Structure 1
């Protein structure tokens, strides 16, 4: 892990969903508009993906994790294990309704933006929101007129602010 005196520059990462990749719509959007966002393809089950994430960020602190769907679940699990290494989470329709996920006994202090689509049938707000509220102490919630893919609202988020 790198540690530097003063305020360290944040390292933004995009974590794609279960059936997606860095060739997906959101990943390609980041590659075009914010090429500093790091990403890689993840595969396997949740534990295998978390091991891959741990290896990827071994040398970084001050992480900004942007997780889409299953990637949002990964970001949440990482923040529970390593809150001191996370500057911010941006969870896009996170799969907190995944059967194996249980909120921690103590809320995580990482500032977190939760963006969900009102019409999401994969990760419905009525199941995800209570788990997010039980997980994060500093949670900002945006429920948009969108579905699971968040294609309508995703590009309109203030990424300049969120990624710094």
Structure 2
């Protein structure tokens, strides 16, 4: 199973969802609009209850949600793709566990003015996972970023 967790200011069917859905029609994207992190964790917990082998794609605040959910229920998840994840907050400090480097990809724009690149780099270093840096801003809308997202999914979702 493949889930997409959207960010704070987007919805469940934005441009990243559309891009991924074209390549992976089985993509599921719960609607977290208007929810704070505890509400999102509660809803995502219910959505993934009883599942195993799930891959999560999380964008910005959805990336923080995906990382926190993995920490809470690692047995449910096979892999993660985190896109400009908002892990630069105290909530990011609560992430205690992530998949091994072979099953996680973190993609971040070097010109991101919303989530500091250095903070995401430090987060990745803390867990010993590589950071894929792209020439882009927070939205990761460049063709290079989109190709990196699909390549990451090919590696950790279809390739694992």
Aligned residue number for residue 145 of structure 2: 154
Question: 1:118-145 CA deviation, whole Å, 9 max, x = no partner?
Answer: 00011111122212322x34x1211111
TM-score relative to the length of structure 2: 0.85
Find the residue that maps to 1:163 and give its secondary structure: helix
Match of 1:16 in 2: 6
The alpha-carbon deviation at position 107 of structure 1 amounts to 4.5
CA RMSD of aligned residues (A): 1.8
| Corresponding residue SS for 1:149 | coil
- Secondary structure at the counterpart of residue 39 of structure 1: coil
Equivalent position of 2:105 in the other structure: 113
Task: Name 1:59's counterpart in structure 2.
Answer: 50
- From 32, 40, 52, the equivalent of 2:30 is 40
Indicate the SS of the match to 2:105: strand
Structure 1: state its 5+ residue gaps: 1-10
Aligned-residue offset at 1:163: 2.5
Gaps of 5+ in 2: none
Give the structure 2 partner of residue 8 of structure 1: none
2:114 paired residue number: 122
CA distance in 1, matches of 2:12, 2:115: 21
Once the two structures are superposed, residues 31-84 of structure 1 have per-residue CA deviations (whole angstroms, 9 ceiling, x without a partner) of: 222111111111310010011101111131111111000010001101111222
Which structure would you say has the larger Rg? 1
Is 1:91 matched up with 2:85? no
CA deviation digits over 1:63-113, x for unaligned, max 9?
111100001000110111122222111110000012433145x55344321
